Amino acid sequence: MIFLCSQRLVNLFFLPYLSMLIITGNNAHEIEKFKSVLTEKFLIKDLGELKYFLGIEILKDKNGVCLSQRKYCLDLLKDFGLLGCKPMKSPLEANVVLASKESQNDKLLTNVTEYQKLIGKLIYLTITRPDIAYSVQCLSQYMHAPLQSHLKVAFRVLRYLKGSPGKGIVIDKSKEFGLCAYSDADWGKCLSSRRSVSGYLVYLNGSLVSWKSKKQATVSRSSAESEYRCLATTCEIVCILKILKDLNVQYTLPINIFCDCKPAIQIGNNPVFHERTKHFEINLHLVREKVSNGVINLVKIVSDEQPTDLLTKGLNIVAHHYLCSKLRLKDLFQS
């Protein structure tokens, strides 16, 4: 939760988690005053400037901060004996599809617990590593009955992390407001269920603040439908705008959502309800309502420049590193 206290143009923000509390604001004197009030009421320990929180390292840069999980990543590599392994240049092979059934050459794992432990830790690592979000999303679907091939792919992800364990999300300072999103889907990606995979990225002032890679809940009958369902990232935009309003941050509308599917954009901008779109009516009305109200604006983008491809499919090494550069991930531990 985020609490806002505004008095005499002084803003204080609190981020509590269990017994821990982050305090920030625009006035150092008021922050110290508030900490004194807390000390009188509770037994607290002031750890000083924020440097480490829930396994996330906060590293200061001249342009802002970098959120990294370097120690967490190195401990993970150590636990599985891969500190000295040869790094991989991509977390997943291009267009690979994981097996869903046991075969003669691909047996079920005998130690399911260790696989679940590994995937659970990788899921937590995606907090600052969106470049492995798609790989982890695929592996997490088989935690109940993992195969040997799944463990092999999980170790490939670890070997990819070995190349840059300190890489993390960069949040830069900026005086100008800018909010935009990228949305993409891979139609019928899952061979067993034929459900599509959705992905979105949300940038605030050029810094990545929200992302998701997820298999859609229903089967889409066309690529346009799967792309349009993914445009429901509008809900994330609305949520972020609400938080910005609570923080007294001024913003301008509409917010651009970049999509590489022209039919999906046309459906969103067309006020006429067609017979062929009735089966996904809820998402249809949600996006159209926000477009008509001027909250969002759907923009066409070239497929090769769509960074959300990282969250919907396996890519070759060149494409993976090119799109990773658009995520603006940075490793402050490397020169």
Q: Domains (ranges, CATH) in the chain?
A: 3-48 (no CATH), 68-167 (no CATH), 174-301 (3.30.420.10)
Mean pLDDT of 221-248: 84
Average pLDDT over residues 244-250: 82
Report pLDDT for 275. 53
- The most confident of the ranges 187-191, 261-265, 322-326 is 322-326
Residue 312 reports pLDDT greater than 60? yes
For residue 261, what pLDDT band results from cuts at 50, 70 and 90?
confident
Q: Please report which confidence band the pLDDT of residue 271 belongs to, taking 50, 70 and 90 as the band edges.
A: low
- Secondary structure (DSSP) of 293-334: TTSEEEEE--GGG-GGGGGTS---HHHHHHHHHHHTEEETT-
Query: Sorting pLDDT into bands at 50, 70 and 90, what band is 303?
Result: confident
Pick 10 or 271 by higher pLDDT: 10
170: Cβ contacts below 8 Å, ≥ 6 apart: 61, 63, 64, 65, 66, 207, 328, 329, 330
**C-alpha dist (Å) from residue 54 to 15, 125, 278, 295:** 12, 11, 45, 34
| Structural Rg of the chain based on CA atoms | 22
The mean pLDDT of 65-76, rounded to a whole number, is 93
Backbone φ and ψ of 135, nearest 5°: -60, -45
Q: What band does 156 get if pLDDT is binned at 50, 70 and 90?
A: very high
